[in-house]
Structure 1
Amino acid sequence: MKLRYIGPSFGIDGLTDGKIYEAVEEDGMYRVVDDSGEDYLYSMTDPAPLDGSSPGGRWEVIES
């Protein structure tokens, strides 16, 4: 599936506002290949960095 992240960009290796990412659903979360090139689990409803350095954003499904 393809998701667009909408919200504050965070980290060099995190998520970028407006960028489209490849993802799969896993255990109620999205496994996303983020800007680091690696895949990580992100919340389906409130994607944000674990350290709380950004308020996070939301996902827009582009292609399921």
Structure 2
Amino acid sequence: MKVKYIGPDIGVDGLFNNGIYEVVEVDELTGLLRIIDESGEDYLYSPIKPKSVAGEYKGGYFEIIEDDNNTLSVVIKCNP
């Protein structure tokens, strides 16, 4: 599964505008996306308004690039 992040860059090694990222899974407990970001590590991001945990960066949104069995379309319901 892959998504494209649209929005302001999140940190120096988080999500970058127009970056395409692999989604490892949708967390069953939280509904958050586990994404391998620019750090090379996997972190949880909101499927609706992804932003940094500390909240110092405004969030953006995801566009679905590849979706296995409509897994992402269930949690990413709409974009702005």
TM-score range, shorter chain: over 0.9
- Larger proportion of strand: 1
- Larger proportion of helix: 2
Matched residue type, 2:48: T
Normalising to structure 1: TM-score of the pair? Answer: 0.94
Matched residue type, 1:10: I
- Is the contact between residue 2 and residue 65 of structure 2 (CA under 8 Å) also seen in structure 1? yes
Cα displacement (A) at 1:11: 1.0
Q: Which residue of 1 aligns with 2:33?
A: 30
Higher RCO structure, 1 or 2 (CA under 8 Å, sep 6+): 1
Distance 2:58 2:10 in 1: 9
Kindly provide the CA deviation profile for residues 7-54 of structure 1, in whole angstroms up to 9, marking residues without a partner as x.
Answer: 000211110000100002113110000000000000010100011111
Matched residue type, 2:26: E
Which segments of structure 1 move beyond 3 Å, counting only runs of 4 or more? none
Uncovered stretches (5+) of structure 1, i.e. residues with no partner: none
Q: CA RMSD in A?
A: 0.8
Identical columns (%): 48
Q: Which residue of 2 aligns with 1:17?
A: 17
Normalising to structure 2: TM-score of the pair? Answer: 0.76
Q: Which residue of 2 aligns with 1:45?
A: 48
